[in-house]
Amino acid sequence: MEALSMTKAECRTAFLRQTGEQYDKIVVGAIIILTDEENEERILVLKRAAHEEILPNIWEIPGGKAEDTDATILDALKREVHEETSLTVTKVYGAVTSFGYRVKKVVPPKEDGGEEETVWSSCLQLSFACEVADPLDLAINPEEHSESGFVHCREVFNRELEMTEQMRAVVLEALSDPTMWRRPDLLALAQVPYVGDL
């Protein structure tokens, strides 16, 4: 959770790759879990658009790159969730295990000639269990995602949704710790035992 108050630059310095080098990008993600009227957990997932160069048609949690203009990682998280879903993060319950990965981007040749270039970037994913205001106001950005919804958590667990194993692990970790997402007001409505202070 300490990362929430850091800038992108501070995160790049504080969280190093196994090689001791800084990550090229810091990426944030929001794990948004609700309990429905049947007392079943549902998680918000978005399907990446087919035209996306990196991982097209893969399901993921809302999130994206922290920008230099974001004052803190919390600001990046709030901005990315709003840009992708129109939802407003109102509370962060906790952080799950971060993970690093690499992405490949093919850069087309410049106008003055040359050849296309393949560029690899290292990314650090920082994901947080969050609460949002008015989750039914969900509206995705069609430039980035083709589908969205609050799916049953068993769909993630049973591998019914195509997502990376790292993303699936992050979601399952958050689900395994109910203090990260079980709001006392929802628990009272669902009459489920409350497991700890948030």
Please state, rounded to an integer, the average pLDDT across all residues of the chain: 86
Lowest mean pLDDT among 128-137, 149-158, 166-175, 177-186: 177-186
**Does pLDDT of 185 surpass 80?**
no
Q: Is the pLDDT of residue 189 over 50?
A: no
CA distance 87 to 144: 15
First to last CA, the chain: 14
The whole-number average pLDDT for the span 114-126 is 90
Residue in the structure block whose two tokens are 């589908």:
147
Q: What are the backbone angles phi and psi of residue 118, rounded to the nearest 5°?
A: -100, 125
- Predicted TM-score of the model (pTM): 0.85
Beta-bridge mates of residue 51: none
